[in-house]
Structure formats: structure tokens, C-alpha cells
């Protein structure tokens, strides 16, 4: 198999050639216009960012993708599915308000913004995949019904998959509420009792009412009710609610790959990783910790696996920033930064599985554009 082509440009600019112009050139060079967009509905899958997080993708990038697709005759819309956990993107109303607050208004981006899985996250299509973990994938209707898929991804660390790029945005991000439950359900958290201060934050925010206080004044999780959404892990400031990984971390990444394959199968698709503000964790958090490397650039490809592999390789080859979470972790040049930060994750297994099921290629040719 031929290596997949990944096109990359850095963030250097000069008068008359700003980053938006470079971005458009990159998309053209990579052959985005080879797709027949005429009259087609084009889902641009994006993460609008949880309010309070400032590492998410600037709307300006989305606006440029939209402008190019419209020039090519397509009907683009920006889209995402709502979250499983409580927060400011857990239903279509809150999610749209959050998107607008973060700058993704139709006026700014030049197209409609549609929450793909409806008002309460239950509008989905079941796409047959018949793979190791999932027989079908429950994909938000607006994404499932689109003719063409573009993923516009902020590349960063992720607490469950090591890093988040195209595959994470496509797979987990396109799952409806039920789909997200299916992907999360093998990784339920546990409470480490000695750390628990009984602050009650996890209890207040558990959408399933699965947490209560024991007689010893420690949080405890009812595993029968828990759906493994990870919200309590995200909210606990005392490292008491922890994800139980092991085998299940790999299963989660494999399920995400299966869902990503369901999203793109049989449709023209193209993928964009913006590698800046590379925060240690997902944009689902309402804060973003300091970036772990300098802003590197933009990578695009028809192949989401090759794109993510090229992106993770570039981040791992870059010097780490000393004012980041990596300080004091003994990070050497070339070390796997994402595994240092999230030692219980295994992004390599996820990429290998994505390759095995036919989502894309692990070998890539990096073509640098100035």
C-alpha cells in the first residue's frame, strides 16, 4: 500500500500571506476541490469548545473551509453532537448557545450551525458496521444524512485516548447520546477513598445519579447505574474519582475507531488537524492547561489515520514547553508526550486498530508547504 499523503504548513507568515491564505493554499494543494461538492450537503464536524476553554479552534478556520466549499457548489454546515455528561453542551439549546458564545455564529462562519443529534441527543441513525465491538454505530442524524464529511479538528491531548485528533472528533464526537454511552461503557471510574473530601461536586453533576456518600463520608459509585461518561473524573479536584483503564482504554479507542469508520464509509471525506494550543486534555473541559509544545502548524489529508499519525509524530518530535504539565516529568526529545501525561492510555493501539479495520493508513508521506 502506498503511504498516504499528509500536507503540512507551519504558522510562519509574511505580509500578504497570512495564515488563512496559507490554510486555503494547503487545502487546494491537498486536492480538496477534487471532491464533487455541487449541490451536496457537507457536514463539517467540529468541536465548538466548552465555554471557559480557550484552546478550541478559532472560528476563522471554519469560515475559510465554509467559504471554499460554497465556492465549489456545496452546502456546508458546522456540526457536533451533544455530550453525555452534564455541562454547557449536553443538549442542543445549551450546545448552540455555547457555540455562539465561542464565536461560531452563522454570521461569523458563513453557514448554519446544526446540532447533529437533535434537541436531547436522541436523534440518530444506526449505521451497520459489524465489527469487533459494535454491530451498528449510533451516529447523529445530521452527520449520518450528510453527503460529504469534513473533519476540522483541534489536535491536543486527551485523558481517555492519549491524544485527540481526527479519529476522536469523528468517532466519539459523532456518536449520539446512546452511541457515546456505548463507546464509554467499558471504562467506568472508581473512587479512591483516601483522596475524597466529600465535597459533593461529582454527586451534583452525575447525570445518572449514580454517586452517593457512604457512611464513611466518601463518594461511592453504583456501577449498575454508571454509564462511564467520565464526568466525575473530569470534575474531581482531588484525584479521587479516577478512570479504571487497563484493557478498557484500548477497547474505548477501538470503539471510537469503529464509529469513525461508520461516519466516513461510502462518502467523500477530508480531514484537517490544527496543531496549535496543544493542551494536555480535551476541549470538553471548561479550562485549558498551558500548551505542551509550541504552535506547530496545520496538517490536512484524505486519510484520517495517516493525518493523526503524522500529527502525533510532529508533537512528539517537538521540544516540550517547560511552563507546561510536562515540567518535571523527565521528558526527553522524541519521547511520547501523550503517554507521559496520560500513562494509562494507548494511542498506538487505537491507530493500529483503525488501520486494521480500513479507516486509513499508518504510513504517510509528509509534504511541506511554505
- What does DSSP say about strands 113-115 and 75-80: parallel, antiparallel, or unpaired? parallel
- What does DSSP say about strands 4-10 and 269-275: parallel, antiparallel, or unpaired? unpaired
Residue 236 interacts with ligand SF4 (CB under 6 A): yes or no = yes
Q: Which is nearer to ligand SF4, 145 or 217 (CB)?
A: 217
Residue 198 interacts with ligand SF4 (CB under 6 A): yes or no = yes
Stretch that binds ligand SF4, among 1-9, 171-179, 190-198, 345-353 (CB under 6 A): 190-198
- CA torsion sign, 80 to 84 to 87 to 90? positive
Near ligand SF4 in 54-73, by CB under 6 A: none
What does the buried/exposed string (b/e) look like for 262-275 if buried means 16 or more CB atoms within 10 Å of the residue's CB? bbbeeebbbbbbbb
Q: Which is nearer to ligand SF4, 3 or 200 (CB)?
A: 200
Q: How far is the CB of 174 from ligand SF4 (least distance, A)?
A: 20
Q: How far is the CB of 223 from ligand SF4 (least distance, A)?
A: 8
Binding-residue total with ligand SF4 (CB under 6 A) = 27
Residue of 189, 297, 304, 360 that binds ligand SF4 (CB under 6 A) = 189
Stretch that binds ligand SF4, among 29-37, 131-139, 232-240, 285-293 (CB under 6 A): 232-240
Stated as kind and residue range, the H or E segment containing 237 is: none
Residue 290 interacts with ligand SF4 (CB under 6 A): yes or no = no
Residue 241 interacts with ligand SF4 (CB under 6 A): yes or no = yes
Near ligand SF4 in 202-221, by CB under 6 A: 202, 206, 208, 210-211, 219, 221
**Cα–Cα distance between 141 and 77 in angstroms, integer?**
13
- Residue partners of 130: CB distance under 8 A and separation at least 6: none
- How far apart, in Å, are the Cα atoms of 347 and each of 53, 147, 154, 293? 23, 29, 16, 18
276: its cell numbers: 496549535
Q: How far is the CB of 212 from ligand SF4 (least distance, A)?
A: 10
Would you say 279 and 156 are in contact if contact means Cβ atoms under 8 Å apart?
Answer: yes
**Cα–Cα distance between 90 and 117 in angstroms, integer?**
11
Q: How far is the CB of 211 from ligand SF4 (least distance, A)?
A: 5
Residue 96 interacts with ligand SF4 (CB under 6 A): yes or no = no
Residue of 200, 246, 334, 343 that binds ligand SF4 (CB under 6 A) = 200
Residue 87 interacts with ligand SF4 (CB under 6 A): yes or no = no
How far is C-alpha 147 from the geometric centre of its chain's CA atoms?
Answer: 21
Nearest C-alpha neighbor of 274 from the set 28, 56, 49: 56
Residues near ligand SF4 (CB under 6 A): 189, 191, 196-202, 206, 208, 210-211, 219, 221, 226-232, 235-236, 238, 240-241
Amino acid at each position: 500500500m502506498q503511504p498516504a499523503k499528509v500536507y503540512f504548513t507551519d504558522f510562519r507568515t509574511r505580509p500578504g500571506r497570512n495564515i488563512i491564505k496559507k490554510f486555503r493554499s494547503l487545502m487546494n494543494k491537498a486536492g480538496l476541490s477534487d471532491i464533487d461538492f455541487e449541490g451536496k450537503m457537507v457536514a463539517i464536524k467540529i468541536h465548538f469548545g466548552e465555554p471557559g476553554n480557550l484552546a478550541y479552534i478559532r472560528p476563522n478556520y471554519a469560515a475559510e473551509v465554509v467559504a471554499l466549499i460554497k465556492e465549489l457548489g456545496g452546502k456546508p454546515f458546522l456540526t457536533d453532537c451533544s455530550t453525555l455528561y452534564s455541562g454547557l453542551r449536553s443538549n442542543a439549546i445549551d450546545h448552540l448557545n455555547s457555540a455562539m458564545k465561542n464565536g461560531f455564529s452563522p454570521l461569523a462562519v458563513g453557514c448554519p450551525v446544526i446540532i447533529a443529534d437533535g434537541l436531547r441527543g436522541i436523534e440518530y441513525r444506526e449505521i451497520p458496521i459489524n465489527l469487533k465491538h459494535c454491530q451498528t454505530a449510533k451516529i447523529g442524524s445530521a452527520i449520518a444524512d450528510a453527503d460529504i464529511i469534513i473533519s476540522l479538528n483541534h489536535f491536543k491531548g486527551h485523558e481517555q485516548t492519549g491524544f485527540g485528533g481526527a479519529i476522536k472528533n469523528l468517532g466519539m464526537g459523532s456518536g449520539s447520546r446512546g452511541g457515546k454511552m456505548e463507546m464509554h461503557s467499558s471504562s467506568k471510574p472508581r473512587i479512591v477513598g483516601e483522596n475524597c473530601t466529600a465535597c459533593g461536586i461529582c454527586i451534583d453533576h452525575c447525570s445518572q445519579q449514580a454517586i452517593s456518600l457512604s457512611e464513611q463520608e466518601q463518594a461511592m459509585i453504583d456501577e449498575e447505574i454508571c454509564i462511564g461518561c467520565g464526568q466525575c473524573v473530569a470534575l474531581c479536584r482531588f484525584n479521587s474519582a479516577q478512570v479504571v483503564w487497563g484493557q478498557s482504554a484500548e477497547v474505548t479507542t477501538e470503539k471510537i475507531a469503529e464509529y469513525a469508520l461508520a461516519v466516513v464509509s461510502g462518502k467523500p471525506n477530508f480531514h484537517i488537524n490544527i496543531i496549535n494550543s496543544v493542551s494536555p486534555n480535551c476541549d470538553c473541559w471548561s479550562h485549558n492547561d498551558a500548551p505542551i509544545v509550541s504552535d506547530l502548524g496545520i496538517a490536512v489529508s484524505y486519510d484520517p489515520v495517516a493525518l493523526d499519525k503524522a500529527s502525533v509524530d510532529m508533537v512528539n518530535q517537538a521540544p516540550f514547553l517547560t511552563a507546561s504539565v510536562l515540567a518535571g516529568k523527565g521528558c526527553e526529545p522524541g519521547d511520547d508526550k501523550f503517554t507521559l501525561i496520560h500513562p494509562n492510555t494507548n494511542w498506538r493501539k487505537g491507530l493500529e486498530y483503525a488501520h486494521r479495520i480500513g479507516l486509513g493508513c499508518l504510513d504517510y508521506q509528509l509534504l511541506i508547504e511554505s
